[in-house]
Amino acid sequence: MNGKLGKGLLVILFGVLLIFAWHLQANDGKAQGEKHPDVDFSISCTECHQEVTPEIVAQWKSTKHGMMNFGCYMCHGDGQVEFKAKPDTDNCLNCHTGEPVDASKGGNLQCFSCHKNHNLKFHQ
Amino acid sequence: MGVTRREFIKTTAAAAAAASIGTTLLPGGVKPLFAENDMEWHKSVCRFCGVGCGVLIGVKNGKVAAIRGDKFNTINKGHLCVKGFYLHKIIYAKTRLTHPMIKKNGKFEKVSWDEALNFVAKKFNEIRKAHGPDALAFYGSGQAETEETYMANKLFKGCIGTNNMEGNPRLCMASAVGGYLTSFGLDEPAGTYEDIEQAEMFMLIGTNTAEAHPIVFERIVRHKMKNPNVKILIIDPRKTPTDQVADLHLFPKPGWDLAILHAMARIIIKEGYADEQFIKDNVVFKDNKKNLTYEQYKQFLEKFTPEYASKVSGVPVEDIVKAARMFGQAKTAMSMWTMGINQRTRGVWANNLITNLHLLTGKIGKPGCDSFSLTGQPNACGGVREGGGLCHLLPAHRVVKNPKHREEVAKVWGVPVSNIQPKPGKHTVAMFEALNKGEIKGIYIMCTNPAQSLPNASKYWKGLKEQFVVVAESFFPTATTKFADVVLPAAFWAEKEGVYGCTERRSQYMPKVLEPMGEARWDAFILRDLGIRMGFKKEFEKYKTAEDIWNEYISLTKGRDLDLSGATYRRLKKERGLRWPVPSEDHPGTYKRYVKGDPIFDELSEEKKKGRWIYFYGKPEGKAVVWARPDKGPEEPTDEEFPFALSTGRVLEHWHTLTMTGTVPELNRAVPKAYVEINPEDAKALGIANKDQVIVETRRGQLKIEARVINRPKKGTLFIPWHWEEWMANILTIDAFDPGSKEPEYKVCAARIRKA
């Protein structure tokens, strides 16, 4: 292999890695390789999180989502087949269809940009 | 039928916003949040419970890729519950049945459709010839489309000539039917969901609305949040998530609530909350044997003091009084109930006693007032109650025993009237009993899983094992397919078109948006082709499309109380359903029955309507019945040997026997397994800790299951969610049934519990 070809291959390899890294960045938690800790999956999310992150469960319960029992899995995945530590907002739109947003606030707005924390309070 | 998201929104009030998706800002810098990615959206209906939520199915590259709540459907206004949220995933479940199979030498073997249908036709004809038509039976579903149930009805009642045709709504809604028929003379509620936002008070009795009918609960929550003075009374032996909005909760001993309802009626009359003019104009009184006067009814109620009701039910006297006053003082009131009332040996009576409160106070027929039964399945009302899919019914609220009804139906079906037997067939429990005895030798089961869902289920496995069983299903295996001789793959939701009719008398169209998985076929055409192969070519070959079947069905509704003549496919494809009566294509549908605006009321003679703003036209003189029913308790009360009352029910995240929700990882994560709820006081007394393995035992069987020690069930009661085959609650439940509605008493039986 001559030096020129080697350099060319390196450039291509670097490019591929760059594209791959960008792809990971652009995708959801699953693609980023996020993994839920190995726990006893025979118990439900809320049952466990009631013990390990009670403040988060309390926040969630205080919302209408909590009242309707829209569980952790709806945003974060089931934890085994799919897990998103930082969920995307596509799922929000399954119910909140065509909700308008004030675009003057910025470019790449997502629901969670404004509805923060597990109580999803606006601009908290 | 497909419309792009852009086209869809263009037709709505949001047109201005939609016209500029992702590009132009609206005044004030507002734009829709996300652009669509070439997704085609199709208006449809949710596949789960009887609420009838509108959904949009998103199709991309020939696959169903997404689901959304339909913002323009007035039932759910875009909202979905957690089950509906994952509905699209179920289409691609690994457990989809994709080809016909025949059991040969104890093992299922893949066969062609020709072989499967020829085999079933031959076996059914042999049984019919050797043992008569009543040796065959059909068992259907409140999840089947109206068109599917209609075809089964014609094949079994009209062609084969047996009324052994039932459906699982017998197990959930039959008592509500019996209640409406005996109180008003006609089935199904007078009001609609629109009453929710106009009600001042809700009586939720025998319903865990938050989990079993979440979108109805969401509407109640929203209404109460906006109007904090709205009062919510719950009557239920178990504390449930519905309690989050309760103002008062009465916890009766399971099966002992009839006395409470009578006591409430007594207080309402004594304290002057009754609408005496309404009673005079619109009500008659009866007991189980004869007509009563109002005075005699009052005399009957004298026994039901709050103290008596308290003694019988275990509810404190003051709570019974408060509940009665809450109902009496509210200007408008809506009662809702479901299986806690219907699945009882006195389910019809319990239904009557709820309606009594509305009739005594005149809280019916007005906005915000109704006795409103919540339905468990998406088409129990439309397909089975209205379509006539039970052993005593014919399409469009007709009955087999009425010669005129038989003639009308036989004429439309193109069969000799003598084919339709005048005697009702075997109701569900009797049907499976007859399979056990060998009186029924062949059964066709469609879209349901009786080996798990029947009460006292294991008792009926014998018949399923011994007789010839055909199961048409979308999923495999199920508890029932294990017993099948033949399994036929059925197209699933979104793979077929048809109509569902929900709780509020609303019929809604569902489009076919993709081809069925594998070799699956539409149930209605499986039945059509089976009919042709059984020798009924003339009767069945004319049905080429779903619309052919629907048009024939709605022709039978013309002039009936559930007139759907105006609900053509052309209209249903455009509109978010229509509430019957809808007698013509230019009729908007009916918000309230029995009053002005109901086309049947409007067409009554002036003489009948004179001085009447409401006329219960299903009853003589337009007068509804207040019933003086005895306060009988459950069939199997607790005793020393079995001291706990066991109840079964649903959780929010799962549905029926898990054939659908069990395929969704997220829903399995939410509630991975069954458990038995036990009150902390009872658990302490028995030395049972949370998560202990325990044995729950009844006179019919026992189940090893995990204990959940929780302050939900009333002391002395146990609760098991019934969805899992592995922890099959129905091996414990009792198959005693209401003598009127024939609906079994799933909700109460005597049990004991011990540490495993």
Q: Please answer yes or no on whether B665 and A45 come within 8 Å at the CB atom.
A: no
Upper half-sphere CA count for residue B383 (Cβ side, 13 Å) = 32
From chain B, pick out residues whose CB is under 8 angstroms from the CB of A103: 25, 29-31
Confidence of residue B391 (pLDDT cuts 50, 70, 90): very high
- The total number of residues written for chain A in this structure: 124
If one looks up domain B101-172+379-489+521-561 in CATH, what number appears? 3.40.50.740
* Mean pLDDT to the nearest integer, B111-121: 98
Closest to B82 (Cβ–Cβ): which among A74, A78, A111? A74
Which residue in B has a C-alpha nearest to residue A94's C-alpha? B68
Q: Which chain B residue has its CA at the smallest distance from A75's CA?
A: B666
Chain A from 31 to 90: CB within 8 A of any B CB: 41-46, 64, 67-71, 73-74, 77-82, 90
Query: Residue B11 has what pLDDT?
Result: 36
* Of the partner residues B29, B217, B666, the one whose CB lies closest to the CB of residue A73: B666
Interface residue A4 vs chain B (CB under 8 A)? no
Question: In whole angstroms, what is the distance from residue A117 CA to residue B745 CA?
Answer: 45
Taking residues B486-513, what's their average pLDDT?
98
Range B187-196 average pLDDT = 98
In the prediction, which pLDDT does A99 show? 60
B304-340 residue pLDDT tens: 999 999 999 999 999 999 999 999 999 999 999 999 9
| CATH match for B174-373 among 3.40.228.10, 3.40.50.620, 3.40.50.300, 2.60.120.10 | 3.40.228.10
> Around Cβ B289, how many Cβ atoms within 10 Å?
7
Asked if residue A1 is part of any domain, the answer here is no
Domain with CATH 3.40.50.740 in chain B: 101-172+379-489+521-561
List CB contacts (< 8 A) between A77 and chain B: 666
Cβ–Cβ under 8 Å, residues B358 and B364: yes
Specify the 3-state DSSP secondary structure of B64: strand
Residues of A in contact with B675 (CB under 8 A): none
Contacts of B69 in chain A (CB under 8 A): 94-95, 97
Please give, rounded to a whole number of angstroms, the shortest distance from the CA of A14 to a CA of chain B.
31
Interface test with B, best of A43, A97, A111, A114 (most B CBs within 10 A): A97
Which one, of B46, B143, B49, B217, lies nearest residue A94 by Cα?
B46
Q: Return the residue of A nearest to B15 by Cα.
A: A98
pLDDT at A43: 85
Given a contact cutoff of 8 angstroms between Cβ atoms, the answer to whether B327 and B361 are in contact is: yes
Q: CATH topology for B644-755?
A: Barwin-like endoglucanases (2.40.40)
User: B420 with B406: CB under 8 angstroms?
Assistant: yes
Q: Do B669 and A100 touch (CB under 8 A)?
A: no
Chain A neighbors of B652, CB-CB under 8 A: 69
Give the per-residue pLDDT at B359.
Answer: 98
What is the arithmetic mean of pLDDT over B108-119? 98
More confident residue, B721 or A7: B721
B69 and A77 within 8 Å at the Cβ level: the answer is no
Across the beta sheet with B283-287, the strand order is B291-292, B283-287, B624-628
Kindly report the average pLDDT of chain A as a whole number.
75
* pLDDT at B640 > cutoff 50: yes
DSSP state, B194? Answer: G
pLDDT tens across B590-615, in order? 999 999 999 999 999 999 999 999 99
Q: What digits encode the pLDDT tens for the residues B247-276?
A: 999 999 999 999 999 999 999 999 999 999
> Is A111 in Cβ contact with B85 (below 8 Å)?
no
Residues of B with active-site annotation: 83, 172-173, 339, 376-377
State whether B33 and A111 contact (CB < 8 Å): yes
Q: Tell me which chain A residues have a C-beta less than 8 angstroms from the C-beta of B672.
A: 41-44
Whether the CB-CB separation of B108 and B74 falls below 8 Å is answered with no
Chain A: closest CA distance from residue B19 (Å): 12
Smallest CA–CA distance, residue A102 to chain B, in Å, is: 4
Asked whether the CA dihedral A38, A43, A44, A49 is positive or negative, the reply is: negative
pLDDT single digits (tens) B529-553 = 999 999 999 999 999 999 999 999 9
- Separation CA B524–CA B547 (nearest Å): 12
pLDDT digits (tens, 9 = 90+) for B59-100: 999 999 999 999 999 999 999 999 999 999 999 999 999 999
Per-residue b or e along B80-116, where b marks 16 or more CB atoms closer than 10 Å to that residue's CB: bbbbbbbbbbbbebeebbebbbbbeeeebeebeeeeb
Average pLDDT over residues B26-33: 38
User: Which pLDDT belongs to residue B396?
Assistant: 98
Q: Is residue B687 over pLDDT 60?
A: yes
- Does pLDDT of B22 surpass 50? no
What's the pLDDT at B34?
47
- Does the structure show a pLDDT above 60 at B361? yes
Query: Which of A41, A68, A71 is opposite residue B218, by nearest beta carbon?
Result: A68
φ, ψ at B489 (rounded to 5°): -75, 125
Chain A nearest C-alpha distance from B9 (Å): 9
Q: Which residues contact B18 (CB under 8 A, 6 or more apart)?
A: A98, B5, B6, B9, B10, B12, B32
Q: Is the dihedral of CA B150, B156, B158, B162 positive or negative?
A: negative
Q: How would residue B143 be classed by pLDDT, with cut points 50, 70 and 90?
A: very high
Q: Are B127 and B503 in contact (CB under 8 A)?
A: no
Residue intervals of chain B classified under CATH 2.40.40.20 are 644-755
- The token pair that represents B335 in the structure block: 């009662």
Residue of B nearest to A76 (CA): B666
Q: Percent of chain B at pLDDT above 70?
A: 95
Contact B69 A109 (CB under 8 A): no
Contact B670 A73 (CB under 8 A): yes
Tokens standing for B586? 């230019």
Q: How confident is the model at residue B14 (pLDDT cuts 50, 70, 90)?
A: very low
Cα(B512)–Cα(B142) distance, integer angstroms? 19
Question: What is d(CA B130, CA B733) in angstroms, rounded to the nearest whole number?
Answer: 36
Q: What pLDDT, on the 0 to 100 scale, is given for residue B19?
A: 28
A6 within some domain: no
**Would the CB atoms of B82 and A78 count as touching at under 8 Å?**
no
Range B567-571 average pLDDT = 98
**Position A13 pLDDT exceeds 90:** no
Domain that holds residue A30: 23-122
Name the residue facing A95 among B17, B78, B665 (closest C-beta): B78
Alpha-carbon distance of B492 to B472, in angstroms, equals 11
Pick the range with the lowest mean pLDDT from A16-30, A65-79, B102-116, B582-596.
A16-30
Q: Please name the residues in contact with B642: beta carbons below 8 A apart, sequence gap of 6 or more.
A: B636, B697, B698, B699, B750, B751, B752
Chain B residue set in contact with A, beta carbons under 8 Å: 9, 14, 17-18, 25-26, 28-34, 56, 66-71, 78-82, 85, 210-211, 214, 217-218, 221, 241, 244, 652-653, 665-673
- Is residue A31 situated within a structural domain? yes
Enumerate the CATH 3.40.228.10 domain ranges in chain B, comma separated: 174-373
CB contact under 8 A, A111 and B30: no
Work out the pLDDT band at A104, boundaries 50, 70, 90.
Answer: low
Q: Which residues of A touch B19 (CB under 8 A)?
A: none
B130: Cβ contacts below 8 Å, ≥ 6 apart: none
**Per-residue pLDDT at A105 exceeds 60:** no
The arithmetic mean of pLDDT across residues A84-99, rounded, is 80
pLDDT band of residue B297 (cuts 50, 70, 90) is very high
> Which of B210, B669, B673 faces A73 most closely, judged by CB atoms?
B669
Residue % of chain B over a pLDDT of 90: 94
Size of interface A-B (CB pairs under 8 A): 105
Question: Do B82 and A67 lie within an 8 Å CB cutoff?
Answer: no
pLDDT score recorded for residue B186: 98
pLDDT at A41 (0 to 100): 84
